[in-house]
C-alpha cells in the first residue's frame, strides 16, 4: 500500500490513516444546465456548479464513507475513519489493480459538444420546438419540455496507487405533448439522449411533429380492452424491459426474490434471448469504460441463450462479500454518494426473427412502442408504452390508448418467444434511479421482442 507525502495523497497521512489502512478520495466537479417549459411557456432556467469530495477509509473494523464540500478532504477522511469505530460488522474491499491514467482528453466523437454551444442558442431552438408543439393543433392543451445537460469531471486517488482522471458528459431532452377532448387526455412524446452531443437535438422539429400527431391521434383512439395479448415491443421498450427486470436483479446488492435467477444453469427463456450488461461504446449515455472505483468495465452476460448465468454486477464491497471478480459496475451519481452496483449499457442481443414476421405471426396482440413510465418491485413489472396499436390477424390495425402492460418478471422472461434481428442502439432521456441516486445515465439497447400472453389493463 502506498502512502506518499505528496499532493492529494498527503491528506491520507494528515487524516491519521495508518499504513495498514485504505484511503480513497474521489473529487468531483459538475456543471449542469436545466431548462423547463411547461404548459404554454417558459418555467425555469437553472445553472448549477457543484464540487466536493467523496472519501472512503478502510480500517481493520471495516470501510466507511464521508462526503464534504470543504476544499480540503482531510476533515472528511477523519470523519470516515471515526465512523469505523461505530461498525459492528466487519467489511472489506476486494483487491483492485491500481490504474494511473488521465482520460479527460479522450475524444468521444461528439459532433456538437453541448458545453461548447451558447446557452441562448440552445434555448432558442428548444423554445421554438415547445411553441411548435403547443400551437400545432386545437386539441393540444400544453407541452412539458425538460432539457438537461451536464459535464462531470472526476479525480480518483487511492492508497493502493490509483490516480485516475476521467470525464463524462450527458444530455437529455423529454418533451410530452398533451391533447385533450373533454374528459379524455392523451399524450405524445419525444425522448432524446446522448453523451453530451447536441447534434442529437437537431432532429427535434420533425420529432415534435410526430409527437403532436401521436397525441391527437391517440385522443381519438379507443381505450384498450383489458385482457391477455401477445405484445410486440419495439427496441426502446424492450431495452427498458430488460434493464428494469433482469438488469436490476443482477445488481449484487439486491436479493432476488426468484432464487432461480441468482443461480446459473436454469432455463428461464427460449434460446433466442441473451441479455448482458457492459461498458457500452463512446458517445452513448451508458458508456462506462472505468467505474467510480477505477475498475475497468467488462461485459457481464446475465442470460445466455435463455439460461441464467448467476453473474452479478459488482463493486469492490460486494465482490469482497461474495468472493467475486470486479465487473466495472461501481457507480455514484455524484460525490455525495458511495459507489453502489449500477447498470451501464444493458443489451439484448440480436435474435433471428424479422419484425414483419413477428407482427405477421400475431393473431391478436399489441404493437407497443416507446416507454412513457413504469415500475418494478423485483417480482413484477408495470410498463406504460408511449404508443400502442392493436394487431389483428397479423396486421397493425388501429391505435389504442391507456394500455398498461403488467406481469411477473420470471413469467415475462418465459413469455419471450421472438427476438428481432435488428437491435436499436440509440439513447433516450430515461435515466436510472436507485436509493436516491438519480439521474444516472444509462443505455438500454434491444431489438424488438414478442412476449406471449401478457396481461394488459386499461388506465
Partner 1 sequence: MSAPDEWVARIVAEADARAASWRLLTLTDFSSEAELAAGEPDAVRSDRQTSATLRVRHDGRLGTATATYPVDPSLLVDDAVRAARLGPAADPLTGPTGSEPAAIEAPGDDTAADALRTFAAETADFQRAHGLRLDGTIRRQVHDVGVHGPDGNRHFRRAWWHQALVAEGRAGAGALATCTDWTPEPALSESWAPWLAWTAACQELPDVDVSTDSCPVVLAPLALHALLSPVVAGLSGASAADAYVLHPALRLDDSAQDDWPLRAPVDDEGTATAPLTLLGDGKPVARYHSEATAAARGERPTGHGFHGSPAHRRPLQPATPVLTAARLTAAPAYRVPGFADLVASVGSGVLIESLLGSHQHAAPRPVVEGRIRAGVLLENGAPVARLSGQPVALDLRELLGPGFRAATEATWPVGRSWHGRMPFALADGLAL
Question: Which 338-357 residues touch partner 1, going by CB under 8 A?
Answer: 338
Least Å distance between CB 50 and partner 1? 5
Judged on CB neighbours under 10 Å (0-12, 13-18, 19+), 105 is: exposed
Cα–Cα distances (Å) from 373 to 117, 383, 392, in that order, read 31, 6, 26
Query: Contact 282/109 with Cβ under 8 angstroms?
Result: yes
Question: Cell numbers 426474490 label which residue?
Answer: 257
Cβ distance to partner 1 smaller for residue 83 or 294:
83
Least Å distance between CB 69 and partner 1? 4
Query: Contact 424/190 with Cβ under 8 angstroms?
Result: no
Least Å distance between CB 43 and partner 1? 6
Cβ distance to partner 1 smaller for residue 163 or 334:
334
Rounded Cα distance between 143 and 149, Å, is: 20
Cβ distance to partner 1 smaller for residue 59 or 168:
59
Query: Contact 213/179 with Cβ under 8 angstroms?
Result: no
Compose the 420-439 pattern: x for residues touching partner 1 by CB under 8 A, - for all others.
----------------x---
Rounded Cα distance between 196 and 171, Å, is: 5
Rounded Cα distance between 181 and 404, Å, is: 21
* Residue 312 C-beta-side C-alpha neighbours within 13 Å: 24
Question: Which 113-142 residues touch partner 1, going by CB under 8 A?
Answer: 119-120, 123
Least Å distance between CB 368 and partner 1? 16
Least Å distance between CB 257 and partner 1? 9
Helices (H), 49-91: 74-83
Least Å distance between CB 457 and partner 1? 10
Rounded Cα distance between 453 and 405, Å, is: 11
Instruction: Pick from 19, 86, 107, 323 the residue near partner 1 by CB under 8 A.
Output: 86
Rounded Cα distance between 159 and 21, Å, is: 8
Question: Cell numbers 407541452 label which residue?
Answer: 143
Cβ neighbours, 10 Å, residue 352: 11
Cβ distance to partner 1 smaller for residue 80 or 413:
80
Cβ distance to partner 1 smaller for residue 282 or 373:
373
Compose the 56-85 pattern: x for residues touching partner 1 by CB under 8 A, - for all others.
------x-xxxxxxxx---xx--xx-xxxx
Compose the 285-324 pattern: x for residues touching partner 1 by CB under 8 A, - for all others.
----------------------------------------
Instruction: Pick from 10, 18, 20, 46 the residue near partner 1 by CB under 8 A.
Output: 46
Q: Which stretch binds partner 1 (CB under 8 A): 30-38, 108-116, 238-246, 355-363?
A: 30-38
Report which secondary-structure segment, H or E, holds 357.
helix 355-360
Q: Which stretch binds partner 1 (CB under 8 A): 87-95, 153-161, 197-205, 281-289?
A: 87-95
Cβ distance to partner 1 smaller for residue 76 or 349:
76
Instruction: Pick from 19, 89, 183, 323 the residue near partner 1 by CB under 8 A.
Output: 89
Q: Positive or negative CA dihedral for 226, 231, 235, 238? A: positive
Cα–Cα distances (Å) from 49 to 30, 69, 142, 295, in that order, read 6, 12, 31, 27
Instruction: Pick from 7, 19, 107, 377 the residue near partner 1 by CB under 8 A.
Output: 377
Rounded Cα distance between 455 and 201, Å, is: 35
Crossing angle, helix 119-134 and helix 204-219, to 10 degrees?
20
Q: How far apart are the first and last CA of the chain?
A: 58
Least Å distance between CB 202 and partner 1? 19
Instruction: Pick from 16, 18, 20, 41 the residue near partner 1 by CB under 8 A.
Output: 41
Least Å distance between CB 73 and partner 1? 11
Largest CA distance in the chain: 74
Residues binding partner 1: what is the number (CB under 8 A)?
Answer: 53
Least Å distance between CB 271 and partner 1? 31
Which residues of the chain form contacts with partner 1 (CB under 8 A)? Answer: 32, 35-36, 41-52, 62, 64-71, 75-76, 79-80, 82-89, 91, 119-120, 123, 336, 338, 372-375, 377, 379-380, 382, 384, 436, 459
Amino acid at each position: 500500500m502506498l502512502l506518499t507525502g505528496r499532493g492529494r495523497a498527503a491528506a491520507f497521512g494528515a487524516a491519521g490513516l495508518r499504513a495498514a489502512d485504505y484511503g480513497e478520495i474521489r473529487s468531483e466537479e459538475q456543471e449542469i444546465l436545466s431548462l423547463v417549459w411547461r404548459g404554454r411557456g417558459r418555467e425555469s432556467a437553472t445553472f448549477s456548479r457543484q464540487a466536493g469530495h467523496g472519501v472512503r477509509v478502510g480500517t481493520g473494523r471495516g470501510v466507511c464513507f464521508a462526503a464534504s464540500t470543504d476544499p480540503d478532504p482531510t476533515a472528511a477522511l477523519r470523519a470516515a475513519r471515526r465512523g469505523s469505530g461505530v461498525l459492528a460488522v466487519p467489511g472489506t474491499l476486494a483487491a483492485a489493480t491500481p490504474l494511473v491514467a488521465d482520460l479527460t482528453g479522450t475524444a468521444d466523437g461528439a459532433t456538437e459538444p453541448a458545453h461548447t454551444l451558447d446557452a441562448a442558442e440552445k434555448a432558442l431552438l428548444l423554445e421554438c420546438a415547445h411553441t411548435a408543439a403547443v400551437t400545432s393543433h386545437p386539441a393540444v392543451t400544453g407541452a412539458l419540455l425538460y432539457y438537461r445537460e451536464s459535464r462531470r469531471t472526476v479525480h480518483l486517488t487511492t492508497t493502493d496507487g490509483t490516480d485516475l482522471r476521467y470525464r463524462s458528459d450527458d444530455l437529455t431532452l423529454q418533451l410530452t405533448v398533451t391533447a385533450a377532448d373533454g374528459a379524455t387526455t392523451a399524450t405524445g412524446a419525444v425522448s432524446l439522449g446522448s453523451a453530451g452531443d447536441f447534434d442529437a437535438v437537431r432532429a427535434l422539429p420533425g420529432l415534435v411533429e410526430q409527437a403532436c400527431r401521436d397525441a391527437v391521434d391517440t385522443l381519438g383512439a379507443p381505450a384498450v380492452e383489458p385482457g391477455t395479448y401477445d405484445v410486440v415491443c419495439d427496441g426502446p421498450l424492450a431495452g427498458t424491459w430488460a434493464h428494469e427486470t433482469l438488469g436490476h436483479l443482477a445488481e449484487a446488492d439486491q436479493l432476488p426474490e426468484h432464487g432461480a435467477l441468482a443461480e446459473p444453469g436454469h432455463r428461464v427463456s427460449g434460446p433466442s434471448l441473451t441479455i448482458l450488461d457492459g461498458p457500452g461504446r463512446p458517445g452513448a449515455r451508458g458508456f462506462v469504460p472505468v467505474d467510480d472505483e477505477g475498475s475497468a468495465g467488462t461485459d457481464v452476460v446475465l442470460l445466455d441463450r435463455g439460461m441464467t448465468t448467476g453473474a452479478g454486477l459488482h463493486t469492490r464491497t460486494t465482490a469482497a462479500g461474495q468472493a467475486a471478480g470486479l465487473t466495472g459496475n461501481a457507480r455514484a451519481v455524484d460525490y455525495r454518494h458511495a459507489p453502489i452496483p449500477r447498470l451501464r449499457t444493458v443489451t439484448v442481443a440480436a435474435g433471428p426473427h424479422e419484425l414483419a414476421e413477428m407482427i405477421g405471426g400475431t393473431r391478436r396482440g399489441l404493437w407497443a412502442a416507446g416507454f412513457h413510465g413504469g415500475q418494478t418491485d423485483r417480482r413484477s413489472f408495470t410498463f406504460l408504452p408511449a404508443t400502442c396499436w392493436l394487431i389483428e390477424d397479423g396486421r397493425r390495425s388501429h391505435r389504442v390508448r391507456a394500455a398498461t402492460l403488467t406481469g411477473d418478471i420470471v413469467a415475462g422472461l418465459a413469455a419471450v418467444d421472438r427476438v428481432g434481428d435488428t437491435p436499436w442502439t440509440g439513447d433516450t432521456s430515461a435515466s436510472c434511479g436507485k436509493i436516491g441516486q438519480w439521474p444516472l445515465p444509462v443505455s438500454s439497447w434491444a431489438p424488438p421482442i414478442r412476449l406471449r400472453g401478457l396481461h394488459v389493463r386499461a388506465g
